[in-house]
Structure 1
Amino acid sequence: MQRGLMDRKTAADTPEIELFVKASSDAESVGNCPFCQRLFMILWLKGANFKITTVDMKQPQPSLKALAPGSQPPFLLYNGDVKTDTNKIEEFLEENLAPPQYPKLCCRYKESTSIGEDIFRKFSAYIKNPNPVLNEMLEKKFLSTLVKLNMYFDTPLLHELDHNPNATESCRPYLDGDSLTLADCNLLPKLNIVKVVCKKYRNFDIPAELKGLKRYLDNAYKRDEFRFTCPNDSEILIAYQSVAKYLNTK
């Protein structure tokens, strides 16, 4: 289902871009897919003109099968060329939607791109486990990844120390500084899934003591580029109902 044109630029040489993303269960809105949301956010942050088209995975149109045979969303149509690998699409967009017409979204700090990379793996082990005996151990391992991420948000980065050499705590809103970057586009969709699924299946909320992480999420949910690209919570739960497990207390 075609969702319309994101009108951002009017230059005659603006590329024709269409992003195909997973459709919701009712095929009317955006479905749960952190990779789709990642590219959606990137294009929005770039300020590009683009179409967003949802793909009903239960009844994909024959024309879409022919466009990217064997591929699942997300995939990109850029001036008629099809691109299907999420990481390569990200690299392509950063290279081709470049200054001065488009903002640069890469990180200044290598650590910003790698911090939090274990969260989704530890979350998956935690949420797929039905055995109460293992729950505490898996929860601690998952929580340790959140604590590590929180420490990164609390620690001043070099540019903050250049501005204030005596700073002992960071107050930056996002991973790499004051602006959303490619790293945020990768991490935030996953954190949103974590938040929704953990609450449903473990009654687990991200601890309020993790103030740096809480600040990050509070700032992110204020941004249209993140908030309006998130699937509905119900879509996330539908996607996880076959893999996430309630603890078996019998």
Structure 2
Amino acid sequence: MIKYIGLYHFTISEPRYALVDGFSAETQCFLRDKTRSSEMLFMVLWLKGVKFTVTTVDMRKKPAELKDLAPGTNPPFLLYNGTLKTDFIKIEEFLEQTLAPPRYPHLSPLNKESFDVGADIFAKFSAFIKNNPNNTFHEKNLLREFKRLDDYLNSPLPEEIDHNSRENITVSKRKFLDGDRLTLADCNLLPKLHVIRVAAKKYCNFDIPAEFTGVWRYLQNAYEREEFKQTCPADIEIEKAYFTVANQRK
């Protein structure tokens, strides 16, 4: 398991897709430790099959390239051939466009709903863990988002329905959001679900209800994949990260 220490500094050299006027360009991606963004980008790079190096950096002794790079801006940010990108979505889009076929697989989902379905779940969790445990309002909001996700995971995608078959598929058996392969949608949602599962159980005694069979099928399939399992922070790291927030609940 990868332990998050200090600041992660990726250096990705790709001769085929990082050429500018015949010169090899270097891509550098800086990530803050113990964040979902670092896990998300680890997953993206792993799924792309990119060979990359990870160097831990002590933020108290910043390397020269960090001192003048994006002053006042917190990671993640990406430097590509002198061009700086500081928005996580832009970084993700860059990796998808630059690390492209035929050498690298596309990771974009086929269905837009696969990206949209879990968009609000982490915000609902954040409100839940910060507020009065005796107030059920925020828990109900979180459960509503889980129900929405569960409904989507259990509903067959258009690609699962064979209109020439007599078999009527009413419940999806797919492994992930957009089918049986991990996509960018999973890279965005799975780290959030992992944090929710660990932190909500530790500080709110909240378990994802067993009735949400689609969500549990999704998580179980994800934990069987090295790309997810090996990039998850340890439970204790998540618990430490939410200790102060959880103990300020009123």
Shift of 1:5: 8.2
Gaps of 5+ in 2: 1-5, 19-25
SS in 1 for 2:67: helix
Q: Distance in 2 between matches of 1:113 and 1:190?
A: 13
Q: 1:180 to 1:105 in 2, by over 3 A?
A: same
Q: Is 2:32 aligned against 1:22?
A: yes
8 Å CA contact 1:154, 1:212 repeated in 2: yes
Q: Percent same amino acid among aligned pairs?
A: 52
Please point out which of 82, 89, 110 is paired with 2:112: 110
1:188-232: CA deviations, max 9, x gaps? 111111011101111111112111100100111111111111112
TM-score, normalised to structure 1, is 0.84
Q: Is 2:237 aligned against 1:240?
A: no
Gaps of 5+ in 1: 24-31
8 Å CA contact 1:196, 1:237 repeated in 2: yes
Q: Distance in 2 between matches of 1:2 and 1:35?
A: 12
SS in 2 for 1:19: strand
Partner of 2:40: 38
1:131-176: CA deviations, max 9, x gaps? 52x1x22212111111110111100000001375610000000000
Partner of 2:22: none
Superposition map of 1:94-243 within 5 A: 94-132=96-134, 134=135, 136-162=136-162, 166-243=168-245
Q: Distance in 2 between matches of 1:199 and 1:241?
A: 12
SS in 1 for 2:54: strand
Partner of 1:47: 49
SS in 1 for 2:169: coil
Amino acid at match of 2:157: L
State the 4+ residue runs in structure 1 displaced beyond 6 angstroms: 1-7
SS in 2 for 1:209: coil
8 Å CA contact 1:2, 1:52 repeated in 2: no
Q: Distance in 2 between matches of 1:2 and 1:190?
A: 20
More deviation, 215-224/238-247:
238-247
Shift of 1:4: 9.3
More deviation, 69-78/50-59:
50-59
Q: 1:233 to 1:57 in 2, by over 3 A?
A: farther
Shift of 1:125: 1.0
How many corresponding residue pairs?
236
SS in 2 for 1:67: coil
1:48-83: CA deviations, max 9, x gaps? 122234444565445423233222222224355443
Shift of 1:235: 1.7
Amino acid at match of 1:152: Y
Shift of 1:37: 1.4
8 Å CA contact 2:7, 2:59 repeated in 1: no
8 Å CA contact 1:55, 1:73 repeated in 2: no
